[in-house]
Structure 1
Amino acid sequence: MPDPVSVTLTHLSAPVGGSQRLTGHLVRPDGPGPWPGVVVAHEVLGANDEMLRQARRLAGAGYLTLMPDLYADGGKRRCLIPTMRAALSGHGRAYQDIAAARAHLVGDPDCTGAVGIIGFCMGGSFALMAAGSGIFDAASANYGQPPKDMDKALADACPIVASYGGRDRQLKGAAARLDSALDRFGVLHDVKEYPQAGHAFLNDTQFGPRPVHPLLRVAGIGPDPEAAADAWQRIEAFFETHLKHTTKG
């Protein structure tokens, strides 16, 4: 599986109001390009090993993949709260950082110019917000909180594939609300809720200290291989249609 390399994105983020220090993890597919690009918006725990596994998976599927570290400019302790606020409000430097990651991909000679975004947890909220920004060709939101004002955020969104867990207590009804809104806006979409799954069901491993794993499972948080396999099949099919079959000059 392809290995990530660290890239500096500060020259793309700082001039437009983003982070004054921004780095990212770029994963280049094996074999010859060009490839479509995908920006990965990481979960609330940061650009960790779990998120790098997801980035590698996308590169393995044939996407030039870049995950900006939204906590790079000050660390998780300083950046966590403002980044979470940005994910829910639609405002904040994280959006300039995400746009900088897209600009890096578009500027790569091995990118076709078609770029999508995928997000997990907090990153799923960023993916939904970014879907309506006009700069992405497709978006994948995974257990992300839908925007409070969906009419404003999603009316002109790019195609969206979204996945939720029915046992995710903090996102009860989110899939149905999102699906209904996208129907109303006429946005191409594939929204699915997995009744047996909870939050973070796409993760390969359970996060946190081992003694708390049983509590997390009771709370509906953690991997669900069956739901994850189906969700990834849908994501890859969706991106195949809206990214691999879209070439921009």
Structure 2
Amino acid sequence: MADSAAARPRPGTARQNVDFPSGEGRAHGYLALPPGGHGPGLIVVQEWWGLTGHIADLVDRFAAEGFVALAPDLYGGPATHDRAEAAELLRKLPAERAVHDLRGAVDFLLGHPALAGDAVAVVGFCMGGGLALRLAALEGDRVAAVVPFYGLPREPDYDYRGLTAHVLGHFGEYDRSLPADVVDEAAILIGEATDRRPEFHFYPAGHAFMNDENQPGSYDDLQAKIAWRRTLSFLRGHLG
């Protein structure tokens, strides 16, 4: 059993307490179990900062709400609050390794004795929002629900045809990095490529309004609470 109260790592490193197969190697992550010891599975995908305290805290919060929650460490150890370092970590992240780690996380959760059900959900933030949608498209019925927060795949014409998950998205009205027309176009593409009608919400907030470490300076406590409650209701509705 993973210790969801694991000691915080030193600055610049991710919190890790599990490892699992990933392609021909192994990946690491942070796992938290619900108070009852079992529940539906949820993968939490990091922002470009890495598996920071903010992401680990979200894993703990989801676990407290009844989910078996896992955040894969896509950078394999480093985490940062510096924009230049984050950009460099992202640049050095091989796309193939990220895919292997995320798909390995799905395998790991679906085989975990604490898991209830035969599918998982994925929640991702910024960079992780785009990766969450990609993972859902790759994994088909093994992902029942996907929730991107202020993030989409980089390709404006991304092919969503493999996606069968229900989709809930959260976006900031004042997010200059992700304009509303780009979000609207993604909703259209998802609807045209699948039998799903994504539920996208816009909030009177900027980018990363859920991040209470406030790296971009746009954390909004009220909007974060609204998005959190919507997310919990959505996940419970589609994971049971």
Please give the range of the TM-score, normalised by the shorter of the 2 chains: 0.7 to 0.9
Deviation, structure 1 residue 79: 4.6
Aligned to 1:247: none
Give yes or no for the alignment of 1:8 onto 2:19. Answer: yes
CA contact (8 A) 1:147 1:153 kept: no
Match 1:137 to one of 131, 144, 149: 144
Runs (4 or more) in structure 1 with deviation over 6 Å come to: none
Match 1:127 to one of 100, 107, 132: 132
Alignment RMSD, CA only?
2.3
Aligned to 1:29: 34
**Structure 2 runs not aligned, ≥5 long:** 7-15, 80-84
What CA distance in whole angstroms lies between the structure 2 residues aligned with 1:234 and 1:192?
A: 10
Aligned to 2:206: 198
Deviation, structure 1 residue 22: 1.7
**What TM-score does the superposition give when structure 1 sets the normalisation length?**
0.79
Residue range with higher mean Cα deviation, 45-54 or 148-157:
148-157
Letter in 1 for 2:51: A
What CA distance in whole angstroms lies between the structure 1 residues aligned with 2:164 and 2:144?
A: 9
Task: Please show how residues 129-208 of structure 1 align to structure 2 within 5 Å.
Answer: 129-133=134-138, 134=140, 135-148=142-155, 150=157, 152-154=159-161, 156-173=163-180, 174-185=182-193, 186-194=195-203, 196-207=204-215
Give yes or no for the alignment of 1:81 onto 2:88. Answer: no
Letter in 2 for 1:199: H
Give yes or no for the alignment of 1:241 onto 2:231. Answer: no
**Structure 1 runs not aligned, ≥5 long:** 87-91, 208-215, 245-249
Letter in 2 for 1:231: A
**What TM-score does the superposition give when structure 2 sets the normalisation length?**
0.82
- Secondary structure, aligned partner of 2:201: strand
% identity of equivalent residues: 30
Letter in 1 for 2:234: F
Q: How many corresponding residue pairs?
A: 217
- Secondary structure, aligned partner of 2:17: strand
- Secondary structure, aligned partner of 1:38: strand
Q: Given the superposition, is the C-alpha separation of residues 235 and 150 from structure 1 closer, same or farther in structure 2, using an over 3 Å criterion?
A: farther
Match 1:72 to one of 71, 76, 79: 76
Match 1:99 to one of 103, 109, 113: 103
Letter in 2 for 1:97: D
CA deviation string 1:103-122 (max 9, x = no partner): 11111111023211110011
Letter in 1 for 2:5: D
